[in-house]
Amino acid sequence: MKPLENKVAVISGASRGLGRAMALALAAQGASLALVARDESALNETAAEARALGVPVETFLADLTSEDSVTALEKAVIARFGKVHILINNAGMNLRKKIHEFTLEEWMKVTNTNLTSVFLMCRAFVPHMKGQGYGRIFNMTSIMAHVSLPARTAYSSTTAALL
């Protein structure tokens, strides 16, 4: 038996980069996967690789900045898997601009994607994790939570807030 067999992981931002790598690592350890992203094509590629490792995998397209979308995602994941043990909040974005060049809409897009989505996902899935004797939440941030670079104000602010 693999260490994560009979465990269900929800991974946002699972279509590429760290999200994809974490999905494949968890699949290799036996976890069933609920993969969430906006890029359907890339998400399907991640899912195909994970399924090749012999685990149940389902893909979900969702706007994690929308309360209604996250509620629908929660219902769909629970309908498919019945439970959740691992939540990885990995979805994020960065707009590289000087602070005085940001519109409020752009600032809110980064903030809602990087920070509000984590609140919405935790609020949706933590109740399903309670009382099972096993639960893990990983909120991915960046080194830029500690040391920023020019034109990364919104990104660094949101990763620091999450940290």
Region of 100 please: left (phi>0), alpha (psi -120 to 50) or beta: alpha
- 86: nearest Cα among 26, 21, 135, 22: 135
Point out the catalytic residue in the list 60, 81, 125, 155: 155
Sheet bearing 86-89, strands edge to edge: 57-61, 32-37, 8-12, 86-89, 136-139
Region of 133 please: left (phi>0), alpha (psi -120 to 50) or beta: left
Backbone angles phi, psi at 54, to 5 degrees: 85, 25
Backbone angles phi, psi at 58, to 5 degrees: -130, 145
Paired residues of 36 in beta bridges: 12, 60
- Is-catalytic flag, 155? yes
Q: Which residues are catalytic?
A: 155
